[in-house]
Each structure stands twice: as structure tokens, then as C-alpha cells.
Amino acid sequence: MDPERAGASGVAFAALAPGPDAGFTANITADGEYRPDAAPLTDIAEESVRRLHEVAESVRVVDRREAGSPEAPALTQIVSFSAVTGGVRRDLVQAQVHLALLDEAEPGRRVVLRLVLTATPDGAGAVLDDFQEFVATVRPDTGSGA
């Protein structure tokens, strides 16, 4: 879906679940940025939590784990929070994946992608497999046509 129409301005990709759960439609968003700094993924994930504090309440990191490989380091975190959506305060949960894509010629240069599933706590289980499948498809375009 067009991110602007989905109410997700500033993201490169947005997808909505087929139907709402308790009035909230689970969604997947993706954004990213060039990170010339050497900030560890834990710091970048914490930046994401601080941004969430700006629009939500009761923000809490439930779980955080390093993942990926040396060539594509990643960090996953689960964040619970309360926010107003559609005029109603809701408890929500996000599964966030922060994935660093390193420049093969200059490993100090990287882009960090942020892939996020947002859902109600009860509805998250129904869409988590779809999110994991989506994350598994994300890889750099090498221009090789493969």
C-alpha cells in the first residue's frame, strides 16, 4: 500500500494485514538510512525506541537480540507500548528488525534498514509468520539480475 495512504509517512514500504484485530490493522513498514557513523545496532535500536516515546506511552523493550551474520549484522527487538490510533488508545506491540547492509568495497559504509511489524498483542501471532517471511526476502540489490 502507498505509505502515505497507510498513514506511514517517511517509510519506503507499507503493507497491511487483510483485516483488523480489535479495530487495529496490523502492518509492516520498512525504512532505512545511510549510517556513516560506527554506532552499534543496539544504539540504533535504542534510537528507534526513543522515537516511539515521542508518539506513544508505556514504551517498554520486551526483548532484544543480536542476529544476522558478520556480512549482514542484525538486531531484533520486541517493544510494547500504548498509542492512540483511530481516536482510540490501544495496547500495541512491535517486532523490529534492524539490519545493517555493508558496502563490500568499504565495510565502514553501511545502510541500516528498519523492518517493523506493528500489531495488537492478541493479533501479533497471526501475522508474525508473514513478517518473518518478509524479513527473509530482504537483501541488497547487487545489480547482477539474480
CB-based burial, 19-39: b 16+ in 10 Å, e otherwise: eebeebbbbbbbbbeeeeeee
DSSP code, position 24: B
- 129 pLDDT higher than 90: yes
* pLDDT score at 105: 82
- 8 pLDDT higher than 60: no
Query: Contact at 8 Å (CB) between 95 and 74?
Result: no
User: Of 136, 115, 119, which Cα lies nearest the Cα of 18?
Assistant: 119
Higher pLDDT: 139 or 50? It is 50
Predicted model pTM: 0.88
Cell of 121: 498483542
Query: Contact at 8 Å (CB) between 34 and 111?
Result: yes
Higher pLDDT: 12 or 120? It is 120
- 4 pLDDT higher than 80: no
Cell of 97: 528488525
